Amino acid sequence: MFEYLSEKLSFSLRNISDQGRITEVNIKDTLREVRMALLEADVALPVIQEFISRVKESALSQKVNKSLTPGQEFIKIIRWELINTMGGQNDTLNLAAPPPVVVLIVGQQGVGKTTSVVKLGKYLGERQRKKILVVSTDVYRPSAINQLETLTKNINIDFFPSEIVQKPLNIVHLALTYAKQHFYDVLLVDTAGRLHTNNFMMNEIINIHIAIKPVETIFVVDAMTGQDAAKVAKSFNSMLPLTGIILTKVDGTSRCGAALSISYITGKPIKFLGVGEKIDALEPFYPDRLANRILGMGDTLSLIEQIERNVDYTQAQKLTKKIKQGNSFDLTDFLHQMKQIRKIGGITGMMNQLPGINKLPDSVKLQMQNDKLLVHMEAIIYSMTAQERVNPEIIKGSRKRRIAAGSGMQVQDVNRMLKQFTEMQRIMNKIQKDGIMRSLKKIIPHRFF
């Protein structure tokens, strides 16, 4: 989602880096290009005007750090203003209220609202150890209640049953009473999708809000709708006191106009980003981390957190122990490592969070971001016998043809995988010989040790 703006801003900021100092004359063209980049990214015009005005004022003030180069100064200012435009800081859900904390989820139809409810339930249950109850008041969309029930069962979250013949207001009263009686920490209320222009539907959600007095009223919006998302959110907020926003489909091809516009226009913080289709693909929103990604600085903190949550440390310890004992790194170990990479979002997910990736040629990025290679390599290894995985040197012509046929690949694909494994095995053997710290010092600058 953010690659387009990242590339455009990098291109826009190239001229200022060679200047001796920042002046109104030499930032004029740069600001014009930044303005065009934001317009093409579908950022709302009032947001762009305010953003450019603040950047210009900061750049020409005497408060700029003179120890930095003009390019560094200007990028620092751009980054700071991007952070401010997106809300300034991470804003978490208010779960400090007496339980059950009621979280009302609202939005238009088709924005991923029901899925977001389940993702939020999983997030609060697993990462914050909360006891969650979920209920649906969507009596208008066929199978909406069944969809939510099915999704919650898959992740072991409690679901409060409801029927399409019931009134939404009665459903939430019953669910809230049940949540109190059974000591739930959080009650998540999924609602029907509605347009802000539909008076009947808006009156219904307003009455629900008055009746259950939610601590949080979260508006779910599709990032693919660009700056229009901010306009819709503003209309909802004028009738319903929103407390935050979930921005869905951030992993899509939109140009991030919604992310940069919605907080400024509504005055409400983005609290979560839907970063994929999987149920665990919901992340807290950090304006500073997103600003870093937009400016090509990466998001290593989020990557580290993702690794900590998903890496199988038991398996990692077994591999470490195996290498220390002098046992060779085999294809089964190689398979486990590829699975670990896929669990943390694959090569593409990792690369999107690493600094400087946007500066690589497109051909290189496409080659590196081909996550299908991991799937193909796994299929090849699964087609091998146990003996072949331990002793890959025995894999010759006839075995390669059998493995290729069994995995649906070509012999050259098998050769490529074996070559990559040999390189990984060489690295592991080097670590075994020299020790982990000595090996790292050869590839990482000494100042880090």
**22 inside domain:** yes
pLDDT tens profile 28-38: 777 888 888 78
CATH number for the domain harbouring residue 13: 1.20.120.140
Task: Enumerate the β-bridge partners of residue 217.
Answer: 104
Residue numbers in the known binding site for GTP are 107-114, 190-194, 248-251
Q: Are residues 40 and 174 in the same domain?
A: no
Specify the number of domains making up the chain: 3
The reported pLDDT for the residue numbered 70 is: 63
**93 inside domain:** no
The reported pLDDT for the residue numbered 121 is: 92
CATH number for the domain harbouring residue 261: 3.40.50.300
Number of neighbouring beta carbons within 10 Å of residue 347: 18
Weakest-pLDDT range from 161-170, 277-286, 329-338, 350-359: 350-359
Helix (H) or strand (E) segment spanning residue 284: strand 282-284
CATH number for the domain harbouring residue 430: 1.10.260.30
Q: Are residues 249 and 347 in the same domain?
A: no
What length is written for the chain?
449
Q: Are residues 278 and 315 in the same domain?
A: no
User: Mean pLDDT throughout 66-72?
Assistant: 60
Q: How far is the C-alpha of 100 from the C-alpha of 344, rounded, in Å? A: 32
Q: Are residues 287 and 366 in the same domain?
A: no
Contact residues for 289 (Cβ-Cβ < 8 A; gap 6+): 299, 301, 302
Tokens for 19, please give them. 């200047």
Residue 111 to residues 194, 238, 247, 265, 277: CA-CA distances in angstroms?
11, 20, 9, 19, 12
**94 inside domain:** no
Q: Are residues 162 and 262 in the same domain?
A: yes
Q: Phi and psi for 100 in degrees, rounded to 5?
A: -80, 135
Domain boundary among 297, 331, 361: 297
Helix (H) or strand (E) segment spanning residue 56: helix 45-60
Q: For the chain, what is the mean pLDDT?
A: 76
**318 inside domain:** yes
Domain boundary among 297, 315, 342: 297
**92 inside domain:** no
Q: Which of 314, 309, 373, 369 is nearest to 338 (CA)?
A: 373
**91 inside domain:** no
- 105-120 residues labelled b (16+ CB within 10 A) or e (exposed): bbbbeebbbbbbbbbb
Domain boundary among 278, 297, 316: 297
The reported pLDDT for the residue numbered 277 is: 80
3-state helix, strand, coil in the chain (%, to 5): 60, 10, 35
DSSP 143-207: THHHHHHHHHHHTT-EEE---TTS-HHHHHHHHHHHHHHTT-SEEEEE-----TT-HHHHHHHHH
pLDDT tens profile 218-266: 999 887 776 777 778 888 888 888 899 998 887 765 556 777 788 888 8
pLDDT tens profile 388-429: 988 888 998 899 999 999 989 999 989 988 888 887 777 666
Q: Are residues 116 and 255 in the same domain?
A: yes
The answer, yes or no, to whether the previous bond of 355 is cis (omega within 30 of 0) is: no
- Give the three-class secondary structure for 443: helix
Q: Are residues 41 and 111 in the same domain?
A: no
Residue 298 to residues 22, 291, 295, 363: CA-CA distances in angstroms?
26, 9, 8, 20
Q: Are residues 7 and 136 in the same domain?
A: no
**175 inside domain:** yes
Q: How far is the C-alpha of 246 from the C-alpha of 382, rounded, in Å? A: 40
Confidence class for position 434, pLDDT limits 50, 70, 90: low
Report which of residues 369 and 376 the model is more confident about. Answer: 376
Q: Are residues 274 and 147 in the same domain?
A: yes
Confidence class for position 171, pLDDT limits 50, 70, 90: very high
Q: Are residues 444 and 374 in the same domain?
A: yes
What is the extent of the structural domain holding 42?
A: 3-85
Report which of residues 122 and 298 the model is more confident about. Answer: 122
Q: Which stretches within 273-345 are classed as H helix?
A: 287-294, 300-310, 313-324, 331-343
Residue 345 to residues 4, 151, 194, 292, 352: CA-CA distances in angstroms?
20, 21, 33, 19, 10
Q: How far is the C-alpha of 302 from the C-alpha of 304, rounded, in Å? A: 5
Q: Are residues 215 and 247 in the same domain?
A: yes
Q: How far is the C-alpha of 144 from the C-alpha of 416, rounded, in Å? A: 47
The answer to whether 32 and 21 are in contact (CB under 8 A) is: no
User: What pTM value is reported for the model?
Assistant: 0.64
Determine the residue type at 23.
Answer: T
The reported pLDDT for the residue numbered 363 is: 47
**96 inside domain:** no
Residue numbers in the known binding site are 107-114, 190-194, 248-251
Q: How far is the C-alpha of 80 from the C-alpha of 144, rounded, in Å? A: 42
Q: Are residues 132 and 271 in the same domain?
A: yes
